[in-house]
């Protein structure tokens, strides 16, 4: 209407505009109503859809929960089935393993029984083999013993070498050859373990040859003796008389006081030692003094630091190994012996990290080292041995070996021993005019410091240690040395000591203690060496000498005498001297 070209009056125009506005409002109102209706309907539809969706979702959730519960139950069922299946499989596997274990145990038990039976059979075979070997070895020893006895039958027959048309040297040479062959065969068989039947056969053939040799020799001698039977009988009688004279002289020389002449028995025992023994004692003291005087330069070295150092090192090298001697093992004792022997042989030795040679000083070997070494052995005897009596044997065996290889050490050792313990000679020093009391006490072996004499118990203990060491030395030899030569100071010196001791008037305390220590250590060896003569000496001690000791012993000094009396009585009753405690056995040297 507004777009028409007609001109409308202003009044009509405003009415029309109002109508148009009214229409527009009416339209807008109607449109709003319709929109509200459509919105309400849409909201209702949406609410229905929401309710439907909620209901559907609830149903789906229920179905999902049911499905999930079903799956859980199915999985649980499957897991239970799997577990049951696994359990059954494990049970079957366990049963199978048990069966295998029982089978293996059965097989192992069978193998163990077979192994035990095999071991028993092997042990039985080895035992039989060892038994056969021991029987063969005993057979070899018996054959060797018979061979030696037969060979001894050849040697005495050298007295027939001056028979006409007879020469026995060939028999002796062949006998010695046979003995040497058999000894070498037995030695090689022993080193190899068990001798073989071939070894026994060889020794038996050698025995048969020796018997044939003896038979031939006896036949030849018998044939030759027909011409000189009478002269041989005279020579035999003469030799028998000479032998009886020699035995009588030996008895007079070595038997104790009961075998002395009747005149001396009436006068009583000696107060002084025999002149020959005292001369020997003086010679030893002179040798020690000459040795001490010879190393005066190295002895007085206060102003010379180099010589003083050499002296200190040499003294340590000589004395420290002696302090290391013990009965721990044979190998350790051999090491100590080698150290001392190498030092005395001029070889370098290690002492406290330093290399020491006796050639570092011209007086080192010949005098200083020998002197200090011998002095240390004596000090060790009066110290260590007096407190640990069993230690006498390892010290003695080392000293015996050194003595054999280096005699100067033994001579100086005896001189030191006699000076520290005059009863080892034995002799009782007499007090000379002008000799002070302290000096005389020192001559008797007592230690005197600041005019104080040592206690009697300590004195007796020191004397005991030195006598025990001396008694061990005279019966022992170094087992790895050359045993062809004689012992440098053997049992004959011990027998002379015992005989001289029993010819001296006894002293209280000292005499019974020395006799007891000496017999405990050396009695067994003297018994084996001197036999009936030793038992005569023991009987003399019991019947004659112990009463003499009792006569000079006070009631407070009966300890040593009682022990001596009981020891002698037990030995005479048992007719056997016990082995000394601490003696080194052959097994000791394998340790």
DSSP 54-92: HHHHHHHHHHHHHHHHHHHHHHHHHHHHHHHHHHHHHHH
What's the average model confidence in pLDDT over 126-155? 77
Who's near 443: CB < 8 A, 6+ residues apart? Answer: 422, 429, 431, 435
Nearest to 344 by CA among 259, 414, 403, 268: 403
For the chain, helix, strand, coil in percent to 5 are: 80, 0, 20
- pLDDT over 80 (residue 256): no
φ/ψ (deg, to 5) at 270: -75, 155
Residue 326, judged by CB atoms within 10 A of its CB (0-12, 13-18, 19+), counts as middle
Task: Please answer whether residues 314 and 369 qualify as being in contact, where contact means their C-beta atoms are separated by less than 8 angstroms.
Answer: yes
pLDDT band at 298 (very low <50, low <70, confident <90, very high): low
Tens digit of each residue's pLDDT (9 = 90 or more) over 507-565? 888 889 999 999 999 999 999 888 889 999 999 998 989 999 888 888 777 788 889 89
What's the average model confidence in pLDDT over 557-586? 87
pLDDT of residue 33: 92
For residue 103, the SS3 value is: helix
DSSP code, position 270 = B
Q: Is 193 or 112 the better-scoring residue by pLDDT?
A: 112
State the sign of the Cα–Cα–Cα–Cα dihedral 551, 553, 558, 559: negative
CB atoms within 10 A of CB 375: 23
State the sign of the Cα–Cα–Cα–Cα dihedral 55, 57, 63, 69: negative
pLDDT of residue 164: 53
Distance, in Å, from the CA atom of 488 to the CA atom of 291, rounded to the nearest integer, reads 20
CB atoms within 10 A of CB 46: 11
Q: Name the least confident of 171-180, 273-282, 290-299, 480-489.
A: 290-299
- pLDDT over 50 (residue 410): yes
pLDDT of residue 333: 87
Task: Please answer whether residues 579 and 527 qualify as being in contact, where contact means their C-beta atoms are separated by less than 8 angstroms.
Answer: no
Tens digit of each residue's pLDDT (9 = 90 or more) over 245-255? 445 444 444 34
Distance, in Å, from the CA atom of 73 to the CA atom of 69, rounded to the nearest integer, reads 6
CB atoms within 10 A of CB 79: 10
Tens digit of each residue's pLDDT (9 = 90 or more) over 152-200? 777 554 445 455 555 666 777 777 777 778 777 777 776 666 777 787 7
Whole-number average pLDDT of the chain: 80
Domain spanning 276-431+438-590, CATH class: mainly alpha
pLDDT of residue 518: 92
pLDDT of residue 243: 56
Task: Please answer whether residues 459 and 507 qualify as being in contact, where contact means their C-beta atoms are separated by less than 8 angstroms.
Answer: no
Task: Please answer whether residues 470 and 517 qualify as being in contact, where contact means their C-beta atoms are separated by less than 8 angstroms.
Answer: no
pLDDT of residue 201: 82
Task: Please answer whether residues 550 and 564 qualify as being in contact, where contact means their C-beta atoms are separated by less than 8 angstroms.
Answer: no
Q: Facing residues of 504 across strands?
A: 270
Q: Domain extents for the chain?
A: 149-232, 276-431+438-590
Task: Please answer whether residues 489 and 414 qualify as being in contact, where contact means their C-beta atoms are separated by less than 8 angstroms.
Answer: yes
Tens digit of each residue's pLDDT (9 = 90 or more) over 261-272? 333 333 455 656
For residue 100, the SS3 value is: helix
Task: Please answer whether residues 361 and 317 qualify as being in contact, where contact means their C-beta atoms are separated by less than 8 angstroms.
Answer: no
């Amino acid at each position: 209407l507004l777009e028409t070209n007609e001109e409308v009056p202003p009044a009509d125009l405003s009415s029309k505009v109002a109508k148009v506005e009214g229409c527009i409002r009416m339209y807008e109102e109607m449109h709003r109503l319709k929109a509200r209706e459509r919105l309400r309907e849409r909201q209702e539809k949406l609410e229905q859809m929401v309710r439907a969706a909620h209901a559907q979702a609830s149903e789906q959730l229920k179905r999902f929960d049911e499905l999930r519960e079903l799956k859980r139950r199915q999985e649980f069922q499957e897991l239970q089935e799997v577990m049951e299946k696994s359990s059954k499989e494990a049970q079957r596997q366990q049963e199978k393993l048990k069966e295998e274990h029982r089978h293996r145990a059965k097989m192992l038990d069978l193998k163990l029984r077979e192994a035990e039976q095999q071991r028993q059979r092997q042990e039985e075979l080895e035992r039989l083999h060892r038994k056969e070997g021991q029987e063969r070895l005993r057979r070899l020893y018996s054959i060797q013993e018979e061979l030696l006895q037969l060979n001894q039958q050849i040697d005495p027959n050298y007295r027939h070498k001056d028979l006409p048309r007879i020469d026995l040297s060939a028999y002796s040479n062949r006998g010695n050859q046979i003995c040497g062959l058999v000894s070498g065969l037995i030695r090689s068989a022993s080193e190899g373990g068990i001798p073989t039947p071939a070894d026994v056969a060889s020794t038996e053939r050698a025995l048969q040859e020796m018997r044939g040799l003896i038979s031939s020799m006896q036949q030849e001698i018998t044939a030759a003796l027909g011409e000189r039977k009478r002269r041989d009988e005279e020579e035999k009688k003469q030799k028998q008389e000479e032998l009886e004279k020699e035995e009588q002289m030996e008895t007079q020389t070595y038997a104790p006081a009961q075998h002395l002449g009747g005149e001396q028995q009436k006068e009583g025992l000696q107060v002084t030692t025999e002149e020959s023994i005292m001369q020997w004692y003086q010679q030893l003291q002179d040798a020690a003094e000459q040795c001490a005087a010879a190393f005066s330069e190295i002895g007085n070295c206060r102003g010379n630091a180099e010589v003083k150092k050499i002296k200190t090192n040499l003294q340590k090298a000589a004395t420290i190994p002696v302090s290391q001697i013990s009965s721990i093992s044979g190998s350790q004792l051999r090491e100590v012996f080698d150290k001392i022997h190498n030092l005395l042989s001029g070889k370098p030795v290690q002492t406290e990290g330093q290399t020491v040679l006796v050639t570092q000083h011209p007086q080192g070997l010949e005098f200083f080292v020998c002197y200090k070494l011998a002095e240390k052995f004596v000090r060790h005897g009066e110290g260590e041995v007096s407190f640990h009596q069993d230690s006498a044997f390892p010290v003695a065996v080392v000293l015996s070996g050194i003595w054999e290889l280096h005699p100067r050490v033994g001579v100086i050792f005896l001189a030191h021993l006699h000076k520290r313990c005059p009863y080892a000679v034995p002799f009782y020093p007499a007090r000379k005019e002008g000799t002070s009391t302290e000096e005389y006490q020192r001559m008797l072996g007592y230690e005197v410091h600041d005019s104080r004499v040592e206690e009697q118990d300590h004195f007796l203990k020191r004397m005991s240690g030195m006598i025990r060491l001396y008694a061990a030395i005279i019966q022992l030899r170094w087992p790895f040395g050359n045993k062809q030569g004689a012992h440098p100071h053997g049992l004959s010196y011990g027998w002379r000591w015992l005989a001289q001791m029993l010819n001296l008037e006894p002293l209280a305390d000292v005499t019974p203690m020395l006799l007891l220590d000496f017999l405990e250590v050396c009695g067994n060896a003297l018994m084996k060496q001197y036999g009936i003569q030793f038992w005569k000496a023991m009987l003399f001690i019991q019947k004659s000498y112990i009463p003499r000791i009792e006569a000079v012993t006070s009631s407070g000094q009966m300890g040593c005498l009682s022990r001596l009396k009981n020891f002698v009585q037990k030995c005479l009753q048992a007719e056997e001297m016990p082995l000394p405690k601490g003696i080194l056995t052959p097994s000791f040297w394998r340790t």
